[in-house]
Amino acid sequence: MKKKKLAGAFLSLTLAAGVLAGCAGSGSSDKSSGDGDTIKIGVNLELSGGVASYGQSIAEGLELATEEINKEGIDGKKIKLIKVDNKSEASEATSGAIKLTSQDQVAAIVGAATSTNSIAQVQIAQDNKIPVISPSGTSPEITFSKDKLNDYIFRTSFIDPFQGTVAANFATNEIKAKSAAIYIDSASDYSKGLADAFKEQFEKNGGKIVAEEAYIAKDTDFRSTLTRLKSDKPDFIFLPGYYEEAGLIVKQARETGLDVPFMGGDGWDSPKLVEIAGAKALNDTYITNHYSSGDPDKKIQNFVSAFKAKYKDKSPDAFNALGYDTGYFLADAIKRAGSADSTKIKEALEKTKNLQLVTGTFTLDEKHNPIKSATILEFKEGKQVFNTKINP
Amino acid sequence: MELIQQLINGVSLGSIYALIALGYTMVYGIVKLINFAHGDVFMVGSFVGFYSITVLDLSFVPALLISMTVCALFGVLIERIAYKPLRNATRIAALITAIGVSLLIEYGFIYVRGAQPEAYPNDVLPTDKFDIFGVSINSQSVLIFGVAVVLMIILQIIVHKTKIGKAMRAVSFDADAAKLMGINVNNTISATFAIGSALAGAAGVIFGIYYIKIEPLMGVLPGLKAFVAAVLGGIGIIPGAMVGGLLLGVIEALVSAAGYSLWRDAVAFVVLILILIFMPQGLFGKNKKEKV
């Protein structure tokens, strides 16, 4: 009740801010970005709040990429990052985008980490014609919604259906699962998207979905539902949620005696997952992910050592890699555009082809989704171990 | 077998509700105030426990005691600063103040340390799992239920066998008459807040150990649920809060067990509405006629 009132008050504030921002924007005609030798790039990320670890990781990766790019510069210009914190909330993501486009007049925006917060920026970006690149928003809706391409929106990650499909194939071919249960976060578009794709592919492979259950983000008690799932005796459980709840669910499942393999998407990828679930409970769980620092590929190993040098020996996670790749993805487009003009950058982004990045070599399809490979990781005593790589 | 398992799930959850509900009910019993900041005392207790375990490297029992002590002091502080000046004001003024205090604690806490969640370490209590007739019981849930029961027994002893308990009952019955009999009403009210808040602190530590993840807004929903539990049992009546809490936990577990887990929170509040319509005095309350 209290929360709702707050949200209401907040919404009206956001609306008011929107109106004011509109006034400010119409005053100046110069839409592009930055003075002579800098290119201003907005960063709209989850730097605090529930999924802060995604946003902070992306920011670290992006900062490393920017540092490297600025050593040579793009046609003599340097990139300057302007960061706003969207506090892991969609309404804050919208007001962050308004600030970046109208007040700071950036050339492009990087963010947000989650699908929901990325979708919250779409309208602002389309109206102001500023390209937005979501580093890790995997919902198809971000770039393509209501049968229409959001032509100023891009992403660095692969999309949900792909993760769900890969997970289903992995369950059938590697785990040899005949039956599976799906347990989704009903408050998240991301979770639903993965689940739909998983279900379609798993049934196509001849498997049977024996149970579909749901929870709502911020729940803490899952034992009753898990006890119920246990009696359905699935061979495999697909749990496409975010790390806070996924960690609790895996922990409580193991306590309830539900010992089957669990699998999730990149939403599980956070050090907090291991803290919450405990290393032992996470054995026999898998995730699909964008990359693995254990992958022997040379490009990846170079990135890992550069990252470790900058961040005190910290091993980069997938969000670090995606943040880093987003930096290069954008820099490549700005270079080809030959200007910091938003519309020209957008056109150059669309033509991205065979770009060699850490999370795979990618080409953009007509829905602005990169076509690239997915990696499967297994948790062993709390460590992510490279299992296999699946190409599209 | 599945039903027994579900009942165990419900009782573990219910004992946390019961501990929080006790604070609501005791405060209501004595000053007729719904202390909406109580859920946030629970949150503070959980964080105090967390820092005692991780930073001071303490084990479960000392962490529990520190958390209870800090919460008791915190509860008294809230009472002295926010509620005491309003003792003779209208009840709605006190109620609104309580909501204000609740928001102040929540967002003040976020301002000071940020909104990111913390995870309790996994090894505070042993997590052995034993199976009896196909029902798997986690040693943690047994221990948690045990701690809750012990605290409730101690509370009953305090209320019925000690001098301060006698004073609390007297003030609850008639504050003015109690004052005339030489009872220090202010101290008695403070003691009530201290005991209620200490129980919320204990519930916070137990919650952290059982559910691992804690965050600054964690007190909102359990606080409201505990309020439902207190009303269910009959607000102002101590055994009512215990039974109401356990019952609410079991109801929630059974709703999830029936496959309606998304309706779980809604059902808790439907229970509140039904109780208010059909049994406003609660399960243990006496039906009092009010003169107009």
Percent of chain A with pLDDT over 70: 91
Q: How confident is the model at residue A158 (pLDDT cuts 50, 70, 90)?
A: confident
Average pLDDT over residues A222-243: 92
DSSP class of residue A101? I
Helices (H), B79-184: 91-113, 139-161, 163-173, 175-180
Return the SS3 of B27. Answer: helix
Preferred mutation among B4, B125, B141, B212 to probe A, highest tally of A CBs within 10 A? B212
* Arch. (CATH architecture) of A160-289: 3-Layer(aba) Sandwich (3.40)
Closest chain B residue to the Cα of A281, Cα to Cα: B122
CA–CA gap between residue A180 and residue A240 (Å, rounded): 13
B44's enclosing H/E stretch is helix B38-54
Position A15 confidence tier, pLDDT thresholds 50, 70, 90: low
* Confidence band for A339, pLDDT divided at 50, 70 and 90: confident
Q: Selecting from 1.10.287, 1.10.3470, 3.30.70, 3.90.830, what CATH number does the domain B2-120+132-278 have?
A: 1.10.3470
pLDDT at A10 over 80: no
pLDDT at A28: 39
**pLDDT-based confidence at residue B288 (cuts at 50, 70, 90):** low
- Higher pLDDT: A23 or B266? It is B266
The average confidence (pLDDT) of chain A is 87
- Across the interface, whether the CB atoms of B252 and A231 are under 8 A apart is answered no
Can you give the pLDDT at residue A291? Answer: 85
- Dihedral over Cα of A225, A227, A228, A230: its sign: positive
- Percentage of chain B exceeding pLDDT 90: 61
Separation of alpha carbons B25 and B231, rounded Å: 8
CB contact under 8 A, A224 and B10: yes
Q: Are A291 and A156 in contact (CB under 8 A)?
A: no
Taking the C-alpha atoms of residue B17 and residue B271, their distance in angstroms, rounded to an integer, is 15
In the prediction, which pLDDT does A97 show?
94
- Would you mind telling me the total number of residues written for chain B in this entry? 292
A267 — pLDDT class (breaks 50, 70, 90): confident
pLDDT band at A55 (very low <50, low <70, confident <90, very high): very high
Distance CA A318, CA B57 (A): 32
**Residue spans per domain, chain A:** 2-21+29-158+300-372, 160-289
Strand runs (DSSP E) across B30-150, as ranges? 118-119, 129-132, 135-138
Please tell me if residue A192 touches chain B, with a CB cutoff of 8 Å.
no
Q: Each residue of B74-108: pLDDT tens digit?
A: 999 999 999 999 988 888 999 999 999 999 999 99
Range of weakest confidence among A30-39, A360-369, B197-206: A30-39
Lookup: tokens for B145: 């239920």
What 8-state DSSP symbol labels residue B217?
T
- pLDDT mean over A21-36: 46
Q: Is the pTM of this model over 0.95?
A: no
Task: Give me the pLDDT at residue B144, please.
Answer: 82
Check CB contact under 8 Å for A50 and B215.
yes
- pLDDT value at residue B140: 82
Residue A76: pLDDT band (50, 70, 90) is confident
Is the Cβ of B177 closer than 8 Å to some Cβ of chain A?
no
User: A221 and B10: CB-CB below 8 Å?
Assistant: no
| Amino acid symbol at A127 | D
**Segment holding B196, helix H or strand E:** helix B185-211
Surface-to-core class of residue A299, CB atoms within 10 Å of its CB (0-12 exposed, 13-18 middle, 19+ buried)? middle
Strand runs labelled E in A305-381: 355-357, 360-364, 370-371, 374-380
pLDDT (average), residues A208-235: 90
Percent of chain B residues topping a pLDDT of 70: 97
Q: Is pLDDT above 60 for A307?
A: yes
CATH topology of domain A2-21+29-158+300-372: Rossmann fold (3.40.50)
Q: How confident is the model at residue A24 (pLDDT cuts 50, 70, 90)?
A: very low
Identify the closest residue of chain B to A276 by CA–CA distance.
B119
Q: At residue A138, does pLDDT exceed 60?
A: yes
DSSP bridge pairs for A208: A179
Residue A147 banded pLDDT, cuts 50, 70, 90 = confident
Window 19-58 of A: residues touching B by CB (8 A cutoff) are 48-50, 52
Hey, where are the domains in chain B? Answer: 2-120+132-278
Higher per-residue pLDDT: B170 or B122:
B170
* CA distance readout (Å), B151 to A288, B18, B114, B148: 46, 11, 32, 5
The rounded distance, in Å, linking the Cα atoms of B172 and B175 is 6
Which is more confidently placed, A107 or B133? A107
Instruction: Please give the residue of chain B at the shortest CA–CA distance from A278.
Output: B122
Predicted pLDDT of residue B3: 84
Residue-wise pLDDT tens digits, B276-287: 899 888 888 776
Q: What is the mean pLDDT of chain B?
A: 89
pLDDT, tens only, B164-190: 999 999 998 888 899 999 999 999 999
Choose, out of B2, B5, B112, B265, the residue to mutate when testing the contact with A (most A CBs < 10 Å).
B5
- How far is A247 from chain B, CA to nearest CA, in Å? 9
Cβ(A273)–Cβ(A251) under 8 Å? no
A6-15, A200-209, A285-294, B23-32 — which is least confidently predicted?
Answer: A6-15
**Number of Cβ pairs closer than 8 Å across A and B?**
93
- Range with the lowest mean pLDDT among A69-73, A130-134, B41-45? A69-73
CA torsion, points A100, A142, A53, B114, in degrees to nearest 10?
A: 50
